[in-house]
Amino acid sequence: MKNVLIIVLVGLSFMSCEDNKKNEALPIVTNRILYIQDSIGWKIEVPETYECIYYSNVPDSLESSEDGFGLSFQKDEKNIFQSTIEKTNGIETESWIERSQALKLLFADNYAVNGIKADSSETTDVFIDDVLFNTYEFRIYNDNDNDSVRMYQLMYSSEINEFDFNISIVTQDLEEQKKIIQYFYNSSFEKNLDKVESKELIRTK
């Protein structure tokens, strides 16, 4: 779960500095792309108004690698889609649902420790292309107005082909959240992974 801390840090950095510049060290792809990730058979199209700010290559040896990988794209610093894909390494002491709930508590604790007022929805189940996900939302409030929402963070978690798969959608308003969700719901998961093309691909359209 250590790699999902990146998602936590992005949420906190949004709160601490809304005017941060983009990390120039990350690869920038400005044209519309289709992202294909063969370890979980995932395909998603990046929204036309968004740009890919980070994607990582699949490690040569997934069995021995402790590193997570995934895709991130953003419209600006206030509207960001992130994914992490991490090998479970045969964890038997807890289910992916338990790890999903642990991640939810991690978010709540980090917001509380940093003095950020936030509340969360109940965890519910949703199917995307026949894949079961846990989902919940955090609402982050402005410091001086307990009724004014500053940020929405929507989370999805699942386990696919022995990989923990987590999605974080951070937006400033619900309208933008709805747009990103539509792209995620339109993504697909290949059930027969033998049909998926070799390794991780970034394809321009």
Residues 115-162 pLDDT 10s: 889 999 999 999 999 999 999 999 999 887 777 899 999 999 999 988
Burial string for 124-146 (b: 16+ CB within 10 Å, else e) reads eeeebeebebbbbbbebbeeeee
By the 10 Å C-beta count (0-12 exposed, 13-18 middle, 19+ buried), 19 is classed as exposed
Judged by DSSP in three states, 46 sits in coil
Is the per-residue pLDDT at 90 higher than 80?
Answer: no
More confident residue, 125 or 197: 125
CATH classification at residue 196 = 3.40.1000.10
Range of the domain at 101: 2-204
Torsion of CA 75, 147, 121, 156, to 10 degrees: 10
Round the average pLDDT of the chain to a whole number and report it.
76
Report the 10 Å Cβ neighbour count for 168: 24
Q: Looking at residue 23, what is its pLDDT?
A: 38
Q: Looking at residue 157, what is its pLDDT?
A: 95
Q: What is the arithmetic mean of pLDDT over 166-189?
A: 94
Number of domains in the chain: 1
